[in-house]
Structure 1
């Protein structure tokens, strides 16, 4: 499992930096971002058989049901994005990944939304229902006008 996450992290997060000239820190194209999101979705979706393609598409479009299965699916994606770890929002890591994985035209809006949501997981327990993931994604959806989720 850890090896799979490592491979995907290298593929998803490394491609953008490997393709850039030394000293340049720019986001990816929207197409690259969506491809990376598809990789994450393809890893997490099979782990949660109660999450249908329609439910995952709904989450992607901002309809975020609050149930154990959907929350834990969201948690899986957020962990792969390095945005959440054991139910705790990883602010600094999220900001670093955002610089790598988002097109430049999304970054300012996301930085603001991320700052507004930095305390969204405080006081929530991860087990057994992955509640912090739901709270974080809902906060981000409510505070970022261009909502993106794999």
Structure 2
């Protein structure tokens, strides 16, 4: 339900302002997304922070957290591959200018990052890991 509210709020902001989200709005959206996905997948703060610091040695909970995040953003298809078209349109419409160029570059670099498509959590983890490796300082997932 929280994600639905977030999406409706984001759409309202875009319609009213006819502009991308601000950095503050993005930060709030990412926090909400983390608050939904973290307890759902029993990922710890330490696991999530480790990924942001480059430690991608994760168990299934950390991997499934990434699936939840990508799924909430509609960035992963039913076949567990990156939904490139949705990702590009979302970045173009909603990403703040401060991350737009790097996010587009990372998405282009990670089009085919999912190799283990038989497992949704591993596939999402592979995509998120690729996004991180493309530009660690500009990593944008929560």
TM-score bin (small chain):
0.7 to 0.9
The counterpart of 2:15, out of the listed 6, 18, 21, is 18
Q: Who is 2:117 aligned against? A: 124
Which TM-score applies when normalising by structure 1?
A: 0.81
Q: For the residues of structure 1 that align with 2:98 and 2:54, how far apart are their CA atoms? A: 20
The answer to which structure has the higher helix fraction is 2
User: What is the aligned partner in structure 1 of residue 62 from structure 2?
Assistant: 70
Where structure 1 has 5 or more consecutive residues not aligned to the other structure, the ranges are none
Equivalent positions of 1:1-150 (< 5 A) are: 5-11=3-9, 13-20=10-17, 24=18, 26-49=19-42, 51-86=43-78, 87-122=80-115, 124-127=117-120, 130-144=121-135, 145-150=137-142
Q: Distance in 1 between matches of 2:54 and 2:91?
A: 19
SS at match of 2:138: coil
RMSD of aligned alpha carbons: 2.0
Q: What's the TM-score, normalizing by structure 2?
A: 0.85
Q: How many residues are treated as equivalent by the alignment?
A: 140
Structure 2, gaps ≥5 residues long? none
